[in-house]
Amino acid sequence: MYSPLAFLVVIAWFPFVFYLFQRFPAQQAVVISFITGWLFLPTIEFPLPGIPDITKMNVTCYSILLVTLVNDVGRVNSFKLGWVDWPMLIWCLCPVLSSLTNDLGLYDGLSSSLDKTMTWGIPYFLGRIYLGTLAGMRQMAMGIFIGGLAYVPFCLLQTRLSFNVHELVYGYADPRTSFMLSIRYGSYRPAVFMESGLMVGIWMMTATLVAIWLWQTRVITQFWGIPMNSLVLLLLITFVLVKATGAYLLLVLGVIFLYAGKWLRTALPVFLLILGMSFYIYQGVTGTVPRDQIEEISLRYTNEERTQSLTFRIDNEELLAKKARERIMFGWGGFGRNRVYAPDWKGDIVDVSITDSLWIITFGINGLVGLVSLTLALLLPPASLFILRYPASTWSHPKVAPAVVLAICLPLYELDCILNAMTNPIFAIISGALSALVLKEARTNRVTGTRSSVARRSLAQARQN
């Protein structure tokens, strides 16, 4: 299935990452490695004995870990586990207990745990040890912004001409990006080098939101000699043309949250979203989702087709949640045991469940422990950052703004995970970097003004970073 060029590019990625660490400062090299790998490496899953499959992100993680162990092992040794790290640690280890409690064996549990660690834990860890400063967060924000600009021509071409960029470059098409699935509203939804157009939509949403806030807080006023307002408009137009309509809502929410902080000096809308998502997940776990009310609201504000799709999703999630509650603590483990099976018209036992959402997949496979730990791993760092380090009164400070907009992106990604099941390691890196910021020791700088003590301390820290 995979072309020789795809294998060659993946193999060449190891020395290329080593070169990046020789050419650029460590923070910048990490950002370039991850974002370039995520955007442009081929979608590949090549199995290796005893270790997780080779994928575009696994090869990036392997490369950065190897560089770190060879050239900067002190950075690893300086890592100290903090209270905000526990959710990610539990999330990476819970597959062991899921396998043991379902008699699937220790080997299966360790293998599943290693896969999860490579997908979530290592990106989190690398963000934690490399990007846990305001300067590191600025590098990450700039990387996402530039990555969004880099995707603009590919998105526009694929939207207009429909050709598969991945197939054109690497010689094969990812089967998850079928032609029929790419047709939206009379044109085409680009997948570029990702698994689906929805992934591209979330990426362009994130890049657009970051660009808006970097522009509004004057972190940067121009790039490549082009005024930021023009680049923001270009990203916004491209994002709309990608036609990931669910991501439109995420961008609107993100802008509302940021401007509530800027104008009203409050993070309350962010915390309301976090509470709302947590309550919905609680209802899903307990089987108390108000299906009829949601259907009525959907009919009022959307159309019948979207309402039918939504109610179909809710019905399937309830079916899967009912089975998950039979193994509520640690789930069913792997091998499709979390899914629902029934006889078809021929009498054969077939899978009758459809899983669209990451939360229900997690609940079914890893139970309540896995679901709670993953949710906390994504929501605890930004919530803690806004409560303990940088309240809304500091969000417009140019040195704080990049960290703030990236922190806002995590609840938005969690909201998308309630609707879809798309793993994106960039958000795990952001989570790790935010955790490092939260755990930094408070400094005792004096700042003039009448702000609260937390705000004064935060701005003092911003000036020193």
| Structural domain that includes position 48 | 4-439
Distance between CA atoms of residues 47 and 126, nearest Å: 24
Residue 465 lies in a domain: no
Distance between CA atoms of residues 47 and 219, nearest Å: 43
Residue 444 lies in a domain: no
Report the chain's C-alpha Rg in angstroms. Answer: 22
pLDDT of residue 189: 79
Total domain count, the chain: 1
Q: Is 44 left (phi over 0), alpha (psi -120 to 50) or beta?
A: beta
Residue 44 lies in a domain: yes
Residue 313 lies in a domain: yes
pLDDT tens track for 330-381: 999 988 899 988 887 787 788 888 888 999 999 999 999 999 999 999 999 9
Residue 449 lies in a domain: no
In which residue ranges of the chain is pLDDT below 70?
162-163, 175-187, 441-465
pLDDT of residue 449: 37
pLDDT of residue 51: 77
DSSP one-letter code for 84: G
Q: Where are the alpha helices (DSSP H) in 131-223?
A: 134-161, 165-170, 179-182, 197-216
Residue 462 lies in a domain: no
pLDDT of residue 44: 87
Residue 203 lies in a domain: yes
Q: For residue 181, which amino acid is it? A: L
Burial class (CB in 10 A: 0-12, 13-18, 19+), 46: middle
Residue 450 lies in a domain: no
Closest residue by Cα to residue 100 from 412, 366, 454, 451:
366
pLDDT of residue 3: 84
Q: Which two tokens stand for residue 258?
A: 């940021």
Residue 61, C-beta contacts closer than 8 angstroms, at least 6 positions apart = 118, 122, 123, 126, 425
